[in-house]
Amino acid sequence: MWGRILLIYRKILQIMQKKSALFVFLCTMFLFPFTAFSQRGGEFGLLAGGSYYMGDINLYKHMYSPHPNFGAFAKYHLNSRYTLRLGGAYTNLSAADADFNNSFQQLRDRDFEAMLVELSLQFEINFLPYEIGDVRNRSFTPYLQTGIVGYFATSSKDIVNLAIPIGFGAKKNINPRLVLGAEWAFRRTFSDYLDNLSGEDLSNYDPNYGIPVDEASRHKQLGFRYTKDWYSMLSLTLSYTFKLGGLGCPAYYDY
């Protein structure tokens, strides 16, 4: 009996040690950027490009039915690796079953078009050390981005909802004040109604609920209930930078 109690105690101790290590790791990852202010500064910029939708109608085609997108953003550089970003964008999304040769989609024959406006709060991680105003040594970097997005979409059953952004891009200082960039950002929404299509839950027709499954109800499957809709933005960016304390003298940059 005491042997089993001791074994359980050891297992609990091991779990606590693992949790403690994970806690320390997360604190290091999230707090380190805020303690290493090597070059605090910011950007104000604009973006423009194309957007497209993927979901119950468009299952796999990237850049299908693209629409222009426009937006603006502000960035705060915590250091040469980490950046906070607040942004907004406007676009339209559309899709039609008639554009696909799938026999199910030809029979379903649905389409949609929606205007979408989003606000985002994101965190960017630079692959390379990046310095505001440096046009020679630390002027270029690829980066990853993620965070949270809130959006408003017309012609959708879920007019207001949230999405998780996952994106990557690259930027280059073209002079001490201007930054040119390109990025491809994916939005995984928490809704299956961006396209007004979702799968019918056939458990609603179980005999235990008093509604039997018959030939009429069997064909109510219009989409995929347990997969969420996505939209993506492929954009060019142009921003104006400033550095707290000034840009410094280019003569002292590392070449």
Token pair in block for residue 199? 């799968």
Q: pLDDT truncated to tens, each residue of the chain (255 aa)?
A: 555 554 544 544 454 444 444 444 444 444 444 444 446 789 999 999 999 999 999 999 999 999 999 999 999 999 999 999 999 999 999 999 999 998 888 888 889 999 999 999 999 999 999 999 898 889 999 999 999 999 999 977 789 999 999 999 999 999 999 999 999 999 999 998 898 887 665 555 555 555 555 655 555 567 777 789 999 999 999 999 988 765 555 554 444
The pTM assigned to this predicted structure is 0.74
Q: What's the 3-state SS for the chain? A: CHHHHHHHHHHHHHHHHHHHHHHHHHHHHHHHHHHCCCCCEEEEEEEEEEEEEECCCCCCCCCCCCEEEEEEEEEEECCCCEEEEEEEEEEEEEEEHHHCCCHHHHHHCCEEEEEEEEEEEEEEEECCCCCCCCCCCCCEEEEEEEEEEEEEECCCCCCEEEEEEEEEEEEEECCCCEEEEEEEEEEEECCCCCCCCCCCCHHHHCHHHCCCCCCCHHHCCCCCCCCCCEEEEEEEEEEEEEECCCCCCHHHCCC
Picking from 187, 189, 186, the residue whose alpha carbon sits closest to that of residue 228 is 189
Phi, psi of 11 (to 5 degrees): -65, -40
Question: What is the spatial distance between Cα 173 and Cα 239, in angstroms, rounded to a whole number?
Answer: 10
Question: What is the spatial distance between Cα 39 and Cα 31, in angstroms, rounded to a whole number?
Answer: 16
Instruction: Identify the structural domains of the chain with CATH numbers, from first to last.
Output: 37-245 (2.40.160.20)
> What is the reported pLDDT for 25?
40
